[in-house]
Homo-oligomer: A and B are copies of this chain.
Amino acid sequence: MTQPVDLLLTNAVVLTMDEKLTQYEPGAVAIKGNSLVAVGTESDLLDQYLASEIIDCQGKVLMPGLVNAHTHAAMTLLRGIADDLRLDVWLLGYMMPVEREFVSPEFVRLGTLLACAEMIRSGVTCFADMYYFESHVASATAQVGLRAVCAQTVYKFPAPDALDYEEALEKAREFIKEWKDHPLIVPAIGPHAFYTCTQEILQNSSKLALEFDVPLLIHISETSQEVETCRNDNGMPVVPYLKKQGIFEAKTLAAHCVHVDEGEINTLRHHNVGVAHNPSSNLKLASGFAPTTNMLEAKLNVGIGTDGAASNNDLDMFEEIRLAAFIAKAHTNDPTALHAHTALTMGTRLGAQALHLGTKIGSLETGKCADLILIDLKTSHTAPRFRRDRDNIYAQIVYSAKSTDVSDVMVDGRWLMRDRILLTLNEIEIIEQTKEYARQIDTFLAQREQSILSKLIAIGGAEEAESYEVQVKVRVQNAQSVIDAIKQPSIEILRFRHYHEYDTYFAFTDPKQGQLRYREDDFIGEDGQVETVRYRLTLLGIAREERLPSDVLLSRSRYLAPATHSLRFYREYFKPASETVIHKDRLRWRILFHGTECYINLDEVNQPNLGSFVEIKSRTWSRRDAEHKSELAVDLLKTLGIVTDEIIGKEYLELI
């Protein structure tokens, strides 16, 4: 009795990737609608099934499609805009400013189509995505015919598609409702990471995932810095902290898990959390080596992901699968670690299980979806083929084959690629359309790079503020006499502070850009100890805007902001042509003198050793006011008993 089916694929080396790693050669697969009706030897299936169409696979490998367990598909449009940078410079200096400017539904749609083209070409049939405007990711993917878990990103900052997290959560809810029962798309919620989400966001995300029984996607312990932050802020590593927020109550997929300990691995296992390992991304961003062999030993479902193309810079799962094996060997110092068949299982069945789709996809088994690929191993870079051991063919695929050896791709019973021709999208048109985005982004960044001020504004969190200041500076030999003189009745002291100032000045090739000062102010208490520390970033105009009578300076501070990043960050981001360091001990009085507010600074410049100075400074707003205040400043100097014919019309920077 033969049973009718739609399609029979024959004459293949069938690698089922099931629990037993069953192989059939010559093998065959019977397909009806979108499902696998049977998988077995060619002769058995030819006997048992009557097919509307029979396709001879010509001895190619027939296996389940690859599962890309972590990506940001639309970021293909940002591929290669900035490389070889540290994560913070790359993210805050380039990705986020560009995303704020360019990410839109159209951007997301085009980027997703480009990603789908690349992924189909490299044998991916399902991917897990996290991005903005996720409904546009979903619709582009569904249109192309790929399968995906699509997570709408939520975090505490304003995003390209949501002004605040409440709006983001609301959008996620709408998105999940809309796509809940789609045959190809599994909607999900994506709280970005512990450090970009509040407890409330994490808890609400988990509730939403549970309410609709959809997956929750999150980044976990990608860098050691992230773990350290969590320990400092919450007194525990990332996994227990997220557990406390209820994150693992949901069907969770955790990307990275580079820095997790044995206890955390057990927690992940206990809650059936899927893990997405991202070899290239972790190498390229120097995030560290994920403990994949330990996670696999603990029976965690560890899939493999490409991460976004902006960090990686491609979506080639063949490369990732090979690297998963390579890295595990190198990291454990054991070449027998993570065999080829394990790596390929991670790229298929374990990946599907990590995405909580293990019952539908990931292996060629009766009843599962017809998501499959053909690989041509008759190439000069894979020949010859050895058959002594059944592991030979896994090694051939993992260690020798390339993504370009994938000839045919089927998802849900539908061919997306035949003989390397893409059937469901117009690749040339898509590539053509990306050029305009690249041009616009190039222009945006080029303009920004021309101006230090623009670069400063681009990294956000800063206020632009113009301020004019009148400044008089003289050298003093006897600091104590100045301190004593300030106590006289004509000077009303409003406030006194003592601090150490550590300044680093960045100078640029074009002097018109001014100089950027990174200042650490250590406030010294009465006991001589540091009380508080403040970091500020100031973009200084050209030092001498104008000279007033008696060498009084009129300077202009164009920009002032708290410096939330490290000096190292700013150095790598602004790439100064040169740097100058000045350290000084400063006594600062805010006073009233003849009814006018001004500051007296008594500075001892230690590095370089320039000696002691008195500065009189006063904010101003007009040329006339500036002239008045400059006369007052000279008066004040005289009142302090300081000879005024030695006024120095220069900044400390110019005295070096």
Contact = CB atoms under 8 A, between A and B. Distances in A.
Nearest to A449: B388
Contact of A80 (B84, B327, B399): B399
A312 interface: yes
Interface in A297-330: 309, 312-316, 319, 325-327, 329-330
Contacts of A402: 316, 402-404
A612 interface: no
B399 A114 contact: no
A196 interface: no
Contacts of A90: 335
Contact residues on A (Cβ < 8 Å of other chain), bracket: 35 or more
A329 B446 contact: no
A335 B86 contact: yes
Interface in A271-292: 280, 282-286, 288-289
Nearest to A111: B384
A79 interface: yes
B399 A284 contact: yes
B435 A400 contact: no
Contact of A313 (B283, B378, B399): B399
A336 interface: yes
A442 B380 contact: no
A264 interface: no
A385 B434 CA distance: 9
Interface stretch (A13-21, A130-138, A226-234, A390-398): A390-398
Nearest to A90: B335
A38 interface: no
A309 B435 CA distance: 38
A335 B284 contact: yes
Contacts of A449: 388
Contact of A329 (B81, B283, B333, B339): B283
Contacts of A403: 402
B284 A384 contact: no
A332 interface: yes
Nearest to A437: B384
Contacts of A335: 84-87, 90, 284-286
A386 B427 contact: no
A315 B319 CA distance: 14
Copies of this chain, complex-wide, total 2
A402 B387 CA distance: 28
A91 to B, nearest CB: 11
Which of A315, A431, A446, A572 has the most chain B CB within a 10 Å cutoff?
Answer: A431
A109 interface: no
A380 B430 contact: yes
A176 interface: no
A121 B77 CA distance: 28
Contact of A385 (B82, B337, B438): B438
A19 B437 CA distance: 32
A522 interface: no
A118 interface: yes
A384 B435 contact: yes
Contacts of A446: 388
A83 interface: yes
B114 A80 contact: no
A288 B333 CA distance: 7
Contacts of A384: 77, 79-80, 431, 434-435, 437-438
A373 B288 CA distance: 35
A283 B326 contact: yes
A334 interface: yes
A283 B327 contact: yes
Contacts of A314: 381-382, 399-400
18 contacts: A79-B382, A80-B392, A80-B400, A81-B388, A83-B395, A84-B335, A86-B336, A114-B380, A282-B330, A283-B327, A284-B325, A284-B399, A313-B395, A313-B396, A336-B572, A379-B431, A388-B446, A402-B404
Interface of A: 76-77, 79-87, 90, 114, 117-118, 121-122, 280, 282-286, 288-289, 309, 312-316, 319, 325-327, 329-330, 332-340, 378-389, 391-392, 395-396, 399-400, 402-404, 427, 430-431, 434-435, 437-438, 441-442, 445-446, 449, 572
Given A282-B330, A316-B381, 7 more contacts: A84-B338, A114-B380, A286-B332, A286-B333, A383-B434, A384-B431, A404-B404
